[in-house]
Amino acid sequence: MIAVSRRSCATVQVYFDNPPGVSRATSGRLVRTAGRNRAPAILGLVTENGMNVAVLGLGYVGCVSAACLAKLGHRVVGVDRDEFKVRSVVEGKAPFYEPGLEEMVRETIAAGRLTATMCLEEGLAEADIALICVGTPSERNGNASLEQLRRVSQQIGSALEGRARPLIVVVRSTVFPGTCEDVVMAEIGRPGVPVVSNPEFLREGAAVRDFLEPSLLVVGGDDAEACRRVASLYEGLPVEPCLVSLRTAEMIKFACNAFHAVKIGFANEIGALAGQLGIDANEVMDTLCRDAKLNLSAAYLKPGFAFGGSCLPKDLRALAYRAGRLDLNLPLVESVLPSNEAHLKRATQTLLDLQEKRIGVFGLAFKENTDDLRESPVLAMLETLIGKGRDLRVYDPHIRLEDIYGSNRNFLLSAIPHIGKLMVGSLEELTGWAGQVVIAQKPSVEMAGRLRACGLPLVNLVGAF
């Protein structure tokens, strides 16, 4: 039989009439005895250097994190204002369905590594690390609500008043870059309390497995020792921690989720078009996924300049046009070219904002190691700059006007008829004339060294170096 009562700090107290190996709960926490019926030590994943961890919030992320960290050998106190969630955990149950979670909660409760309370002060009393796992739901305007985050940060600040024991505060909730500094640190208001971002990458329905077999572990912060200690929570798991800056960690979570959404949307649009054409969409996408050199790789996932060339713009236009002929709307595919154009405009505006009058441009072709000028974004950028009266010179190591011909030459001359007056024959000629150099094409290692050594300010549009 289990009875639940409250104390002034809203602690749930749980009293067991006759559970094996368990004495009466004290201050809302389950106290284990050394009785012979105590559950055996957890094998396999248990770390030798377990820490005291408070998990603030027992929703999907918090409860899974609490149970899995306890599985790893840490001593974990889950904290939540919701009596049902706390009662469920102390009874050895999961407050929601997630495969494998209830068994792990039951196992770690029995092993004495997991407890739960409604009292935040109590949860933090012995904690070395506090993981904030509260919700950040959408507001009407689309922004993420930080109400719960602000409240728990204020409560942490109050609980730390007069405390000598050090505490690392870790934000697992999904928050926009800058939130840890502007909200969490500000609301805690305690100098010397390090705040670390440790975003979760857990899929509902596979969250326990994702925690114990992680594909990515990100820990970000300005305090290197605090980041190291947070990363050590996951010792024993098959993953190498990525230690990054605080805002980078916050951004990575948004980038991952946006990328997942884009992938799903893309697959669905290709599937819709394939279905209209009587083509097996699964066969198309399954075959696409077999290319791990380009399709499933980092090859096209490096921030840089706009794309161009003879293939991507042309084929995107054709795909959108033919889908339209079938009365099929593909908003994601159709938005790629406008997105690319917007990126080109941002780069062009960056150059228009330069104070330097003489601008040297390195690169003219649509990408490195080619002389293909068709739909090169550099040409479009140069057209705008020339129209705005900028004084330019251009150097591309693979382009000699006398050597290009056919559609390539026609495209160039139709875009900038007087391009011959702007082209120079060497990097030294470019840097000797210019007051600033724009890198519009990824340089070779040798050329990158020469650009660095030229002594001029460099505007890097392509993520070089």
CA dist., res. 452 & res. 465, Å (int): 9
3-state secondary structure of 331: helix
Q: Sheet containing 358-362: give its strands across.
A: 391-395, 358-362, 436-439, 458-460
Q: Active-site residue 311, yes or no? A: yes
- Which among 227, 256, 311, 454 is annotated as catalytic? 311
Q: Are 289 and 267 in contact (CB under 8 A)?
A: no
39: tokens are 């559950």
Burial class of 242 by CB neighbour count within 10 A (0 to 12, 13 to 18, 19+): middle
CA dist., res. 241 & res. 222, Å (int): 16
Nearest to 329 by CA among 272, 406, 384: 272
Q: Are 72 and 233 in contact (CB under 8 A)?
A: yes
Task: Work out the number of other CB atoms within 10 angstroms of the CB of residue 341.
Answer: 14
CA dist., res. 39 & res. 21, Å (int): 8
Which residues partner with 144 through β-bridges? Answer: 138
Task: Tell how many helices (H) and how many strands (E) occur in the chain.
Answer: 17, 14
What single letter denotes the amino acid at residue 361? V
CA 254 → CA 11, 33, 65, 261, distances in Å?
35, 44, 20, 11
CA dist., res. 327 & res. 244, Å (int): 46
Backbone angles phi, psi at 424, to 5 degrees: -120, 160
Positions annotated as catalytic residues are 311
